[in-house]
Amino acid sequence: MAKHMQHDIDKLKAKIISMGEAVEDRVYQATLSVINRDPAKANAVIKGDREIDDMEVEIEEDCLKILALYQPVAIDLRFIVAVLKINSDLERIGDLAVNIAERGLFLAGQEKIEIPFDLSAMVNLAEKMVTESIDALINHDVRLAHHIRASDDTMDAMNREMYTKLKGMLLTDPDHVNNLMHVLSVGRHLERIADHATNIAEDVIYLVDAQIIRHTPELYDE
């Protein structure tokens, strides 16, 4: 009996990993479309959201099936629960990538503006966090998961810096308010992506250590 369950669990693991990789790619393409002002890339991301949604539904149904048929316990149970939650976080990251792509589409049709803060740094950090969260899941790497949680603080700091700088720019360069608002949006979306990546990291900690570590920001060691 355990053989069938193990087989289904392995298949599920492969699916969630492949969804993670697809979502990683969407985020990368979406942020590129903003930085390079590339409408083609943006459209590709927007159209590709359907695929992510389908994957999410499939993974959720697989989880329900495993729960109903095998009544898993202990680590198997925690794995299914973690996958259900990570599934939902990944789908949200995908939606956020679409939002970023939509901003990119808009900005591509505008004249190029100077971005006073380091958007690339935020982009890189967000992408890194998503990638690392998937790695932590694959490798059951709790240290990496804690590291991701720490990175979220950095992202929040960058987000605050972005607000300050943009506020300054609005005062000095009021004609470009529209574009700047879109850039602000992109930054916020990146910050939200980082939050979801952090959730994934916390789900990995639950899976491995059976500790529910949400809402306890100080409980980690590096």
Partner 1 sequence: MVEQSIYPKDQEMVITTSQVNFFYGPTQALFDISLLIPTKHVTALIGPSGCGKSTFLRCLNRMNDTIPHSRVEGEIFINQKDIYAPGTDVVELRKEVGMVFQKSNPFPKSIFDNVAYGPRIHGEKDPKRLAEIVEQSLQQAAIWDEVKDRLHANAMGLSGGQQQRLCIARALAVGPKILLMDEPASALDPKATMRIEDLIGELRTNYTIVIVTHNMQQAARVSDYTAFFYEGQLIECDTTPKIFTNPRQKQTEDYITGRFG
Residue 10 CB-half CA count within 13 A: 6
Nearer to partner 1 by C-beta: 5 or 22? 5
| Cα–Cα distance for residue pair 77/60, rounded to 1 Å | 14
Minimal distance in Å, beta carbon 8 to partner 1?
Answer: 13
| Cα–Cα distance for residue pair 101/90, rounded to 1 Å | 16
What DSSP string runs through 4-40? HHHHHHHHHHHHHHHHHHHHHHHHHHHHHHHHTT-HH
| Cα–Cα distance for residue pair 89/205, rounded to 1 Å | 15
| Cα–Cα distance for residue pair 46/39, rounded to 1 Å | 11
Minimal distance in Å, beta carbon 200 to partner 1?
Answer: 20
Count of Cβ atoms closer than 10 Å to residue 185 Cβ: 15
Residue 38 gets the label, from left (phi > 0), alpha (psi -120 to 50) or beta, of: beta
Q: Which residues bind partner 1 (CB under 8 A)?
A: 1-2, 5, 71-78, 210
Nearer to partner 1 by C-beta: 35 or 84? 84
Closest CA to 9 of 63, 81, 55, 82: 63
| Terminal CA-CA length for the chain | 40
Minimal distance in Å, beta carbon 9 to partner 1?
Answer: 10
Nearer to partner 1 by C-beta: 91 or 202? 202
Nearer to partner 1 by C-beta: 76 or 118? 76
Minimal distance in Å, beta carbon 140 to partner 1?
Answer: 14
Nearer to partner 1 by C-beta: 80 or 169? 80
Nearer to partner 1 by C-beta: 8 or 118? 8
Strands (E) located in the chain: none
Locus of tokens 């982009």: 123
